Amino acid sequence: MTLLLNAKELQETLEKLARQIAAAVPGDVPVAVVGIRRRGETLARRLLPLLEKSGLPPVQYGALDITLYRDDLTTIGPSAVVRKTEVDFDVTDTWLVLVDDVLYTGRSVRAALDALADLGRPRAIRLAVLVDRGLRELPIQADFVGLRADTEPHHVVDVKLVETDGVDRVELNDRRDDG
Amino acid sequence: MTAATTDKPVWTHKHLLGLADLTAEEITHVLDTAEGFKEVSTRSVKKVPALRGRVVVTMFFEESTRTRTSFELAAQRLSADVLEFSEKMSSTKKGETLLDTARNIEAMGVDIMILRHPAAGAARHLSEAVRCCVINAGDGQHAHPTQALLDLFTIRERKGRLAGLKVAIVGDITHSRVARSDLRGLQKLGAEVTFVGPPTLVPRAFEALGARVTHDFDSILPEMDVINMLRIQKERISSSVFPSLREYVRLFGMNRERLRRCKPDVLIMHPGPVNRGIELAADVADGPHSSILRQVTNGLAVRMAVLFLCQQAAMNVSGQ
């Protein structure tokens, strides 16, 4: 196991992301952050006060469940758990920042883009991720990246957050080490 | 990564035949999944691509508009292609058996069959003969699992829980598959069920299934959290098991006067369609305690969840 970020570094990385996002916001549009369930949702929620501290007016917040839009349902099988999508505002004409914990193949983001398209037509969609681990299978790139990590397919990037895992840390694990 | 995954799938059933086959955990998983689907129906684009390219066929050998419509809409909201098989137009009139009909339909490449049939056990019989998923939409007096699931969902939504609740089911229990399925589900999730009606329609034998039985509706009104009024099937009224309609309404009809003696937050349910003025007075059916339309709305979310989960389980089995 390699520690990529400890609690303090994770907080600093989020603050850096918030500053990057705030600097990129065009002045004349309503801003929204939408997290991909579940850890992207938690990260998006944490970004809200940081964005305000960076000088943005209050931004809209939502959470997106992409299970029904995935193209790999067959491989993840029945262990996929459908949760609620909670986007209680009109996304049309917003400057929308999609938030996820790890950017890997790009398939989650593709599914999220499809899901967003069914909710409305944002003016622009930007992508913010805590960790970009490379190895894309689709032509998708993040606009705001907290940490870039060189990984191999047999690696697993585990983002642990207090809200869901009781601790803040990002680990790089090797799948081959599991028994 | 972001898709929530657990090592052991909670749901492994390719068919939904009755709630007797399910554990409390599995029932709760369907209800939780349905929560996620409820939101889809509130969007401007009321569709998700989860069952895109899949074919769902509804095979109804009994009259039903709302259950069939609900299943078809649920399948369409998941982007499945929906085929309606109608008995009237079919070869069953020419003597073809249910299984032959089903195998012929399956040969056209069907993924999910939804069956309503007058014979108890028809869905199980079918599930043993075909490779696709089978969902029971009502078989004789045996079971109507999706109705029970949507009832459970509606109660949980209104009351916040199921465990410890007192639920009365009133009417023709003997002939009701809804009563039987509701009983199974409610018991598994820890609610206490009382069957109410005249002795000819609610025999004491139901006590063996763990339900309380009473023929005195008025005596139990003050303690009930939920009262589910079953539809009186008029074709049975003339039969010897049935008291006169006037007497039935006087003893077992839910009206404003009886509602006054219930808990202030009692939930009045009905599987529909309502005989207004018989089992349910019109002002109660339309009043604030009634969840009749809510049940219909929730039925859609629950059926989407059932279609999704069974299809997932089927893909997992075939993938192994």
pLDDT at position B110: 96
> Considering the domain B145-292 in this protein, what is its CATH number?
3.40.50.1370
pLDDT at position B39: 86
Chain B, nearest residue to A74 by Cα: B315
pLDDT at position B46: 86
CB atoms within 10 A of CB B49: 18
Given a contact cutoff of 8 angstroms between Cβ atoms, the answer to whether B73 and B100 are in contact is no
Condensed to tens digits (0 to 9), the pLDDT of residues B8-43 reads 678 999 999 999 999 999 999 999 999 989 988 888
Strand pairing report for B112-117 and B133-139: parallel
pLDDT at position A176: 84
Q: Over pLDDT 70: what percentage of chain A?
A: 94
pLDDT at position B316: 76
Give the count of alpha carbons within 13 A of A97, CB side only: 32
Confidence of residue A80 (pLDDT cuts 50, 70, 90): low
Taking residues A92-116, what's their average pLDDT?
95
Q: How many residues does chain A have?
A: 179
| From A37, A78, A119, residue closest to B2, measured CB to CB | A37
pLDDT at position B4: 46
Query: What class does CATH assign to A2-23+30-177?
Result: alpha beta
Select from B248, B245, B191 the least CA-distant residue to B215.
Answer: B248
The full set of domain ranges for chain B reads 19-143+297-313, 145-292
The full set of domain ranges for chain A reads 2-23+30-177
Q: Is the pLDDT of residue A76 over 70?
A: no
CA dihedral B268, B274, B277, B283 (to 10 degrees): 50
Given a contact cutoff of 8 angstroms between Cβ atoms, the answer to whether B245 and B280 are in contact is no
Reading the block at residue A31, the tokens are 């801003």
pLDDT at position B320: 41
Which chain A residues contact residue B1 at CB under 8 A? Answer: 101-102, 104, 108, 157
How far is it, in rounded angstroms, from Cα A123 to Cα B19?
A: 47
pLDDT at position B3: 43
Chain B, nearest residue to A81 by Cα: B4
- Least confident among A22-26, A156-160, B43-47, B152-156: B43-47
B19-143+297-313 carries CATH number 3.90.1150.170: no
pLDDT at position B170: 97
Spell out the SS3 assignment of B235-285: HHHCCCCCCCHHHHHHHHCECHHHHHCCCCCCEEECCCCCCECCCECHHHH
Q: Decide whether B19-143+297-313 matches B145-292 in CATH topology.
A: yes
pLDDT at position B95: 64
Chain A positions touching chain B (beta carbons under 8 Å): 36-40, 65-70, 73-86, 100-102, 104, 108, 114-115, 118-120, 157
Reading the block at residue B163, the tokens are 């465990």
Peptide bond into B273 cis (omega under 30): yes
> What phi-psi label fits residue A135: left (phi over 0), alpha (psi between -120 and 50 degrees) or beta?
left
Chain B, nearest residue to A38 by Cα: B2
pLDDT at position A159: 96
Query: Consecutive sets of 10 residues in chain B, 320 residues long: mean pLDDT of each?
Result: 55 95 96 91 85 94 90 96 81 74 92 95 95 96 97 98 97 94 97 96 93 97 98 75 83 96 97 93 96 96 96 74
Tokens 């004409």 belong to: A93
